[in-house]
Amino acid sequence: MFSAQPVNQHNRQVEWLFRLLFGIMLTLLIIPVLLIIATLFHRGGSTLSLEFLFTFPSDGMTAGGVFPALLGTIWLVVVSLLASVPLGVAAAIYLSEYARQEHWLTRIINLATINLAGVPSIVHALFGLGAFVLFFRIGTSILAASLTLAVMTLPVVIVASWESLQAVPRSFREACWNMGATRWQTIRQVVLPNALTGILTGIILQVSRAAGETAPIMFTGAVFFLPFLPGSPFDQTMALALHLYTISTQVPDVPESLPFAVALLLVCIVLLMNATAIWFRMYLRGKKKW
């Protein structure tokens, strides 16, 4: 009586084929990543040590550690987050909660966001050099480099935050308005807390890109070598991405394992930052009631 009909069997076969296809596609995406990480571990894992992490480069960048570059990368990522996240979230709040979708200003903001996301990083570098280093006279510094990275990653934060705000059910807003809450009270107390997990997604993507960029910081704040640690955002700094480029292309007689160790360290830092943000996002998502 309840035996499968031919149409059910056909649908089940089609579903199995698509599941197999998506599984193959996922495997093809994961295998190159695993091969890259395995190669980095094989070629540079033996060089990683506490001494490598907490000492300065020596012997013309052919020996020693990467402590200034490691600290400089953290400086750049943190300052760029402080610059881009508040501005990006504020823009997303305006687009989602206040702007009229057919208004000319809204269309201009959306067009600017789309165009900004497609600009090459070298163009962002020249913009940062002209705007922050020369026009605003900040000079080549951590602040100028971080602001350049913030401009470059701003579209990611805006889009991820806007989509997260739009995912909050409208009934939440209407319930608050019916209780007499203002629009800003509703956004601050209800909408933003429930959209925080999606906003963190944009932050995770920004951290990954900001930590690995070379061209924007090369023109605005990162240097080949510094014999001291930066003490403020107005100082210049070394960075892991630029350090990796330098020892791979500009410095002769570098041990073969050194570039692989720097690349492995950069990947590990990005993975650690992403894992922390993902854990926090999952923790917040587990506390949701809807």
Interval 197-232: pLDDT, tens: 888 888 887 888 888 888 899 999 999 888 888 989
Are residues 125 and 16 part of one domain? no
CATH number of domain containing 231: 1.10.3720.10
Q: Which of 157, 166, 260 is nearest to 202 (CA)?
A: 157
Helix (H, G, I), strand (E, B) or coil at 42: helix
How many CB atoms are located within 10 Å of the residue 34 CB? Answer: 9
* 68, 226 contact by CB (below 8 A): yes
Give the span between the Cα atoms of 256 and 32, in whole angstroms: 22
Are residues 262 and 239 part of one domain? yes
Which two structure tokens, joined as six digits, stand for 180?
């007499």
How many CB atoms are located within 10 Å of the residue 235 CB? Answer: 19
Give the span between the Cα atoms of 154 and 244, in whole angstroms: 25
Are residues 128 and 30 part of one domain? no
Range of the domain at 24: 6-47
Ranges of the chain whose pLDDT falls below 50: none
Residues 6+ apart with CB under 8 A from 199: 89, 92, 157, 160, 161, 164
Are residues 25 and 121 part of one domain? no
Position 1 in a domain: no
Helix (H, G, I), strand (E, B) or coil at 21: helix
The C-alpha torsion from 206 through 146 and 105 to 120, rounded to 10°, is -70
Q: What is the pLDDT of residue 290?
A: 58
Are residues 117 and 26 part of one domain? no
* 249, 157 contact by CB (below 8 A): no
Are residues 281 and 229 part of one domain? yes
Are residues 86 and 173 part of one domain? yes
* Pairing outcome for strands 57-58 and 63-64: antiparallel
Mean pLDDT of the residues in the chain: 89
Are residues 34 and 156 part of one domain? no
The phi and psi torsions of 58 (rounded to 5 degrees) equal: -145, 170
Q: What is the pLDDT of residue 244?
A: 93
Number of domains in the chain: 2
Are residues 107 and 166 part of one domain? yes
Position 89 in a domain: yes
Q: What is the pLDDT of residue 3?
A: 66
Are residues 68 and 89 part of one domain? yes
Q: What is the pLDDT of residue 236?
A: 94
Q: Which of 106, 117, 142 is nearest to 220 (CA)?
A: 142
Residue 58: beta bridge partners? 63
> Rounded to an integer, what is the distance from CA 88 to the centroid of its chain?
13
> What is the chain's Cα-based Rg?
24
Helices (H) and strands (E) in the chain — how many of each? Answer: 12, 2
Are residues 114 and 184 part of one domain? yes
Are residues 40 and 65 part of one domain? no
The phi and psi torsions of 227 (rounded to 5 degrees) equal: -85, 5
